[in-house]
Chains A and B, each alone.
Chain A
Amino acid sequence: MNPFLAVRLVSTSIHRWMYGYLTVPDSKTLQPSPDLAESWTTSEDGLTWTFKIRAAKWSDGQPVTAEDAAWTFNKMMTDEAAKTANGPAVENFESVTASGQDLTIKLKAPQASMLENPVPIMPKHAWESVTDMANYDAEKYPTVSSGPYIAVEHKKDQYVKLQANPNYWRGKPKIDELQVIFYDNPQAAIAGLKKGDIDLLGRMTPQEFEAIQNDPNIEAWNTQGRRAAYLQINHGATTTDDKAVGDGHPALKDLKVRQALHYAIDKQKLVDEVQNGLAKPADGSIVPPMYKDFFWEATGEEKVSYDPAKANQLLDEAGYKKGADGVRTMPDGDRKLEFRFTIHTETPIEDKLAEYLTAFFKEVGITLTTVKLESSKFTEETGVTGNFDIAISGWSVNPDPEEVMATHLCSRRPAPGGEGGGTESFFCDDTFEKLYQDQLKELDRPKRIDLLKQMQERLYTQAPIIAIYYTNDLEGYRKDKVTSITPIPEDKGLLYGGSGYWPFYTVDVKAAAAASGGTGGGSNTGLIAGIVGAVVVVGAAAFFLTRRRKSTADERE
């Protein structure tokens, strides 16, 4: 629960309810809006940012000052351990100083995403005595917070109890208490929701969601999600010094082959039969359509629709002839177009996806075999060693897509020694690089959005990855308990799975009398949210772990 160390999705979500940040996504537009910083200015060259910190109070009554923010950032810049959670966020900071309520951040290079700073501002007076940050677990309750809630009790992997912060600058939240309860087992969490042990449950799989759909007491919440699922194609993995690594199939270096694969995929069928209809076929790239501003969709000539005939034609023209067995071979030799598809062990949904893709590719003379890897091995082979042909991937995208775009930069490839890394595609493309650098410098929002869309277009046409669908956000809450809750964005957005505290700040519940045969007999003035923890049943382990890895973007909203 130490925000300097926390990388787990669960803890970072809860920190969003506990601490103020410089800015917060607006509940309607998702654009950065004032949080602890009530206003800000940028210098002409984009290198100096000045934030005016609002006259708010910590939950213990002390005033929030720019000094708190400066201390937080400086701590991260000087203490290696304090970098653990959000180190990259301050990488580009030259210096951070405070004067009264003014916080001045000087940058080494322009950074348009400055308003998406993912660092919770911590109270200097409560934290400066911590000397050994690496081993500090922050087990002091109640916490000194500036967000809507204060943590008052925490039992590792069991629950976190939060109370409304009476000093919160927007005003005290409507409910007095919020309990976040961890489940190791998704089935138990669903059973808990059905029984009324918990009031709200987020992030279900389509199969889990179907189990609550017909329950009269439960509002099944099905909206566009913030996640894109895509195929990574090993189009020639290299390290940052451009040396080839891995054993990817040479045919995948050919753009025509990648395009043919794209034409061969019936995305609608995948949505209907793999995701039980609870997703949207992807006609764009890695930014899902819920982000209306940033979403880019292919149109006209560029748009790739399911067309196996076209795929066959492309491959024929490029010289990949079909052999007697119906499998194509490389134009210059006898190597067949036989690709491996890397998925995670024990993830039924990926198994199903593999079956469908195998059938689609067979139509165009390509053989696909499935390789299952355990999660950490998967990460290594598809992100570092490049030992794969095609692999499944996905990312939960933040209101600002810069971070997810950055995972396709040249510099994100592994270093010559296998160090560093964090690539999603081993992509390294001059056009893409230039667009990325341009958007970093572009402080004019519409212009920057245009650049980010061009980057998506580049990913779409070059196809180092092929987006297949955008999964829906599947949640559920008790109709008989929750009287109102505002999603984020407010127009049919997300609840727990959303970015920011908005739904939990606005939620209101029926008063105590709600008799639901509860056993504990405690207070009923609050909301009890269930969370399926990071540790899970054997069957779903890999899926959740991947999600945790892939969701690291969550920690950077």
Chain B
Amino acid sequence: MTTPLEAAEPAAVQAAGPGDERSAGRGTLRYALSKAGGALFSIAMVLVGTFFVFRLLPGDPVRNLAQGRNMTPAQLDLERRRLGLDKPLLDQFIDFVGDTLRLDLGTSYEYKRPVLDLIGERLGPTLLLAGTGLVIAVSLGIWQGTRAGWRHGTRFDRLSTGASLLLWSVPTFWLGLLLMMVFGVGIGPIPGIFPFRGIESVDAPDGFAYVLDVASHMVLPCLTLVAVVYAQYLLVMRSSLMEEVSQDYVTVARAKGLRDDEVRRRHAVPNALLPTVTLVFMRVGFVVGGAVTVETIYTWPGLGQLFYEAISVPDFTLMQGTFLLITVAVIVMNTLADVVYHLLDPRVRSA
């Protein structure tokens, strides 16, 4: 995702001449500021969008809250007033923006608790699961991608690329159920080893045993998540390494008589890592959104599950809150990715 202000940036970039450390630093700062400005603009648009789009959804929230029960008009009115739905739309919007800036995301219709609290409760489990999954997927993807790209065309390359693509194209839900059946329930003589519901046992022990308990609950959801997403890191790493291999500097390094793996580690890989870094940052934004499907399969009490539930009710405030959080996280991470890339790659600065 690019920010709308991108068009305005080359001037700032050109101002920083290559080789001049101080002005390069200033250039980066200016670049970062312009990116941040763009991000703020995007966030403002998201705020507007969130408010109006969710009001276009079908269904009267008050009636949905009643869930088919017979409510008197007086009760409906009271409920409407309580939710502030009786005010003109513009007033509602102003309230919404003001509250959001004060980090007050309102009270969930369904849970009758502050949205921020609900999000807070779910953020931890999501970061734990999706974060761990991301770290594993990135490490695995980069390692396999490097090996595959360095010696592309070999059996290892064909096998790992093929396997990752296969996993990438498999429906997450199906794969999750399959893993649950094999490693959770057990098939034939293979006993099920891992739990497949929730983040902890109901009678969870304390201390270190608790950490083990949570870890065992993480195995299957994490495995599912990693299996499905690691292909993208593998493929990006592989192709960018293959590109580097054909570059002159690699040939030069080889000609200098450096050992093969030294050329790979010291010369080719650092350069090839750049696109992967961007991808990782972009992914971190989505991590906050959680992995809805995986969380649902394994009843993982995360944000994805919360967002999904908010949509099904529909619970406007909860939807707004989770949606805002997820989009803001994605925007912030994209901006960071741009800035970091700018720092890492001189070509972007001088381009």
Contact = CB atoms under 8 A, between A and B. Distances in A.
A195 B194 CA distance: 11
Contacts of A137: 112-113
Contact of B299 (A7, A183, A421, A519): A183
A552 B69 contact: yes
A523 B312 contact: no
Contact of A182 (B69, B205, B299, B314): B299
Nearest to B194: A519
A422 B68 contact: yes
Given A137-B113, A379-B59, A419 B76 contact: yes
A134 B112 contact: yes
Contact of B67 (A87, A192, A522, A549): A549
A157 B312 CA distance: 15
Nearest to B173: A537
Contacts of A379: 59, 63-64, 68
Contact of B312 (A156, A188, A412, A535): A535
A420 interface: yes
**Secondary structure type dominating chain A contacts:** mixed
Interface stretch (B144-152, B179-187, B229-237, B250-258): B179-187
Interface in A152-188: 155-159, 161, 179, 181-185, 187-188
A194 interface: yes
Given A185-B296, A195-B184, A379-B59, A87 B71 contact: yes
Interface in B107-122: 107, 111-113, 121
Interface in A375-427: 375-377, 379-380, 383-384, 406, 412, 415, 417, 419-422
Nearest to A182: B299
Contacts of A156: 111, 121, 301
B299 A158 contact: yes
A80 interface: yes
Given A522-B201, A537-B296, A197 B195 contact: yes
Q: Which one of B63, B64, B314 has the greatest number of beta carbons of chain A within 10 Å?
A: B63
A552 B312 contact: no
Nearest to B299: A184
Contacts of B60: 380
B190 to A, nearest CB: 12
Chain B interface size range: 35 or more
B191 interface: yes
Given A183-B299, A375-B312, A384 B63 contact: yes
Given A183-B197, A197-B197, A376-B314, A188 B205 contact: no
A55 interface: no
Given A83-B75, A137-B112, A182-B299, A376 B69 contact: no
Contact of A420 (B73, B197, B201, B298): B73
Given A184-B305, A520-B203, A550 B68 contact: yes
Contact of A185 (B202, B216, B299): B299
B67 A7 contact: yes
Contact of B72 (A183, A420, A522, A541): A420
A521 B202 CA distance: 10
A507 B71 CA distance: 37
Contacts, number: 151
Nearest to A136: B112
Contacts of B204: 520
Interface string B162-184: 00000000000100010011001
A412 B69 CA distance: 10
B113 A380 contact: no
B286 interface: no
Nearest to B311: A541
B113 to A, nearest CB: 7
A375 B63 CA distance: 12
Contact of A383 (B68, B113, B181, B191): B68
A191 interface: yes
A374 B58 contact: yes
Given A520-B213, A535-B312, A552-B68, A380 B58 contact: yes
B308 interface: yes
A77 B242 CA distance: 75
B246 interface: no
A536 interface: yes
Contacts of A161: 202
Contacts of A130: none
A374 B57 CA distance: 11
Contact of A535 (B112, B177, B308, B314): B308
Interface string A525-554: 000100001111110010001001110100
Nearest to B191: A517
B184 A538 contact: no
A307 B296 CA distance: 45
A331 interface: no
B210 to A, nearest CB: 11
Contact of B203 (A521, A534, A537, A538): A521
Interface in B3-60: 58-60
Interface in A453-508: none
A177 B113 CA distance: 29
Contacts of B59: 376-377, 379-380
B67 A194 contact: no
9 contacts: A135-B112, A156-B111, A179-B202, A185-B296, A379-B63, A421-B70, A517-B191, A520-B202, A548-B67
Closest 5 A/B residue pairs (Cβ): A522-B203, A520-B201, A376-B59, A422-B70, A377-B58
Given A7-B67, A191-B184, A519-B195, 12 more contacts: A80-B75, A156-B301, A188-B197, A188-B298, A417-B73, A419-B73, A420-B76, A421-B63, A517-B191, A520-B213, A533-B299, A549-B67
